[in-house]
Amino acid sequence: MSIFLTKISKIKKNGPTDIIKIDFGGKKISLKVVDDSDETISLLTEWRKKSRRMFATNFRMSNSRTKKWIQQNILKNPNCILFIIYVDDRKVGNLALDLYDEKFNSIELDNYMKDPNYNFPGLMTILDKVFLKWVFEELKISRITTKIFSDNYKMLNVHIQCGGWSITNIIPLKMIKTTDGWIWKKTKLQSNKFAERYMNELEVKYDKLMKSFGKIDYDFVKVE
């Protein structure tokens, strides 16, 4: 079994304990694996509703659906993990690793969002830097990618300020309506035509990330 799968399994078994700790802007930031408490489920549902436009799929959201997703698709799935972002012990956002490919030892950064009502300038960029370093160094991942809508300027700016990221592909999309909402799917364009929307594929390089890392007060908690 890969280092990634072994450590992710241990993190989930240990429950919501600190994995990464950062001192930034006079506040204590930490990441803990997601739990399925009523508070966490309610917050995840609320944040997803507020950020629904920046997801490739939209559906009728409810606490019961969120809880089922956490229990079945996250906690029981060995190839992905979801973390809750804490600032001074307050839950303010989440980020995930998904679609692990053992053959290429690659992973996708996914579900990276913050409560839009919580204001903390620089939070997401500092997390981006430290979290990616942890994934490369502690989980021994070889390749990290992500997908972001081309009009998601806030998150694109987070990655630009983080450093290390570059756009590797731009995918034209078409919205497909479903009985439950919609889904954005890849489409083929005719000559001189524009798509309804575009998705950027990005990849981060470890050496470029470290060149822009800077001085950050952080700690990686050993996974036992």
pLDDT digits (tens, 9 = 90+) for 46-102: 999 999 999 999 999 999 999 999 999 999 999 999 999 999 999 999 999 999 999
Domains, the chain, with CATH or none:
3-215 (3.40.630.30)
* Amino acid making up residue 38: D
pLDDT at 193: 86
Q: How far is CA 109 from CA 28, 119, 177, in A?
A: 23, 22, 26
φ/ψ of 153, rounded to 5, equals -65, -35
DSSP β-ladder status, 143-149 and 106-114: parallel
pLDDT at 1: 79
The label of the residue with tokens 């994934």 reads 135
Neighbours of 87 (CB within 10 A): 19
pLDDT at 192: 78
The secondary structure of the chain in percent helix, strand, coil, rounded to multiples of 5, reads 30, 35, 30
The answer on pLDDT for 191 being more than 90 is no
User: Chain-wide mean pLDDT for the chain?
Assistant: 96
pLDDT at 222: 85
Farthest CA pair distance, the chain: 56
Q: Sorting pLDDT into bands at 50, 70 and 90, what band is 190?
A: confident
